[in-house]
Amino acid sequence: MTSKKTISRLVIGLIITIIVFIGHQIWLLDRKKSFTIDARLKEISGIEFDKRKRLWAINDGGDEPNLYQLDKNGKITRSIRIENAKNWDWEDMTQDFFGHFFVGDFGNNSKDRQWMTIYKIENPIDIKTDTTKAEIIKFTHPDFRSEQDEGVFKDAHYDIEAFIYYKRKLYLFTKNRTSPFDGKTRLYRIGDHAANFRAEYVDEFKTCTIIKELCWITSAALSPDRSKLVLLDSERLWLFENWQGDDFFSGDSYQINLGIVTQKEAVAFYDDNTVVFTDEIFSGIGGNGYTIKLDEAEKIPISKLRKAITRGEDKKKKKAKTKEVINKSTDPILN
């Protein structure tokens, strides 16, 4: 039998290991810290650098419909109000080739918003006053079902917190709320101009499945040269390169550990090699901006075999789903 002394040593060893691990994770994140975010941005949910490398930020839902310019120390130096907008649940920002900003009001925690909104404003460099007006882009999920539908949780990809602009289109990455949780973020495509769109499915990517809150995609960013995509979650960056067409998941992918878990909600490229990300204040932790150089980061390749297996499983499921739809459409009771 194992003696009490041996058990005590094992327990102490385990505790020491946990403490060392947590300490290392804290150090990994803290060494990337660049600035402390202005207290007025306590729920910072999106960031973007304009063409003059000035940082802009937005707050999550409940704030005024404002964009905030920050200095290098994270202090607010200017704000611009979008007069014809409402901050229902602002989640991310991106910009096009000309520097027009897009603000995504598409948070959908309750999965009950059928139509979501993106506000397109002129390049902030050209806005000379403290107000502006936006073009309004509306979109809906192609398979939207109301909360009353008992099957909604099985395919709940209606919540979005991340998007990018690429070649005259906007690309949306879902915050997965499936039950049971399958760890995938889906990629959808819509237009970049004022209109009503039905989002088009492109592909999907499995992040992780251990704890859903740690796997949720909360922001996205595309490098200025359009060769790198990063997705953000609570403890990682997911880096994508060498994709085909507009399927960002079709090329090479990597995982970058960011350290201790915090509520990381926004990411942007400063240049083609430098990524800035921020976290919200939660339980007294966070509220900072961090910088990471991709050429210095440890990148863990995502197995191509894993992706191939996942794609094979997805194709089988899609075929089964299509067959089910066809069967229902030809059922005389349903017609």
Q: Cα(117)–Cα(86) distance, rounded to whole angstroms?
A: 10
How do the domains of the chain map onto residue ranges?
Answer: 7-302
Those residues whose C-beta lies under 8 Å from the C-beta of residue 277, and which sit 6 or more positions away, are 47, 219, 232, 237, 258, 264, 266, 267, 268, 289, 290, 292
Half-sphere exposure of 109 (CA within 13 A, CB side): 8
31 burial class (0-12, 13-18, 19+ CB within 10 angstroms)?
A: exposed
Residue 311 has pLDDT above 60, yes or no: no
Pick the CATH number of 7-302 from 3.40.50, 3.30.70, 2.120.10, 1.10.3470: 2.120.10
Q: How confident is the model at residue 319 (pLDDT cuts 50, 70, 90)?
A: very low
| Bridge pairing between strands 55-59 and 66-70 | antiparallel
- pLDDT at residue 324 in the model: 40
Whole-number average pLDDT of the chain: 84
Instruction: Tell me the H-state helices in the chain.
Output: 4-30, 212-215, 304-329
Q: Cα(160)–Cα(321) distance, rounded to whole angstroms?
A: 23
Q: Tell me: the pLDDT tens digits for 238-272?
A: 999 999 999 999 999 999 999 888 999 999 999 99
Asked which of 142-151, 197-206, 326-335 is least confident by mean pLDDT, the reply is 326-335
pTM: 0.84
- pLDDT at residue 107 in the model: 82
Asked which of 69-73, 135-139, 181-185, 192-196 is least confident by mean pLDDT, the reply is 181-185
The percent of residues above 90 in pLDDT, for the chain, comes to: 63
- pLDDT at residue 236 in the model: 95
| Number of residues assigned to the chain | 335
- pLDDT at residue 38 in the model: 96
Q: How many Å is the Cα radius of gyration of the chain?
A: 21
Q: Tell me: the pLDDT tens digits for 56-65?
A: 999 988 899 9
Q: Cα(76)–Cα(39) distance, rounded to whole angstroms?
A: 9
Q: How confident is the model at residue 192 (pLDDT cuts 50, 70, 90)?
A: very high
* Nearest Cα residue to 80 out of 18, 28, 125, 114: 125
- Please give the average per-residue pLDDT across 214-233, as a whole number: 96
Q: Tell me: the pLDDT tens digits for 141-167?
A: 887 665 555 554 556 677 899 999 999
- Please give the average per-residue pLDDT across 96-116, as a whole number: 87
- pLDDT at residue 6 in the model: 66
Phi/psi class of residue 119: alpha, beta or left (left: φ > 0; alpha: ψ in -120 to 50)?
A: beta
Instruction: For residue 323, give Cα distances in angstroms to 125, 313, 331, 333.
Output: 52, 16, 12, 17
Mean pLDDT: which of 10-19, 104-113, 256-265 is highest? 256-265
- Please give the average per-residue pLDDT across 177-187, as a whole number: 87
Residue 168 has pLDDT above 80, yes or no: yes
For the chain, the straight-line distance linking the first and the last C-alpha, in angstroms and rounded, comes to: 70
Residue 87 has pLDDT above 80, yes or no: yes
Residue 308 has pLDDT above 90, yes or no: no
Q: How confident is the model at residue 22 (pLDDT cuts 50, 70, 90)?
A: low
- pLDDT at residue 284 in the model: 76
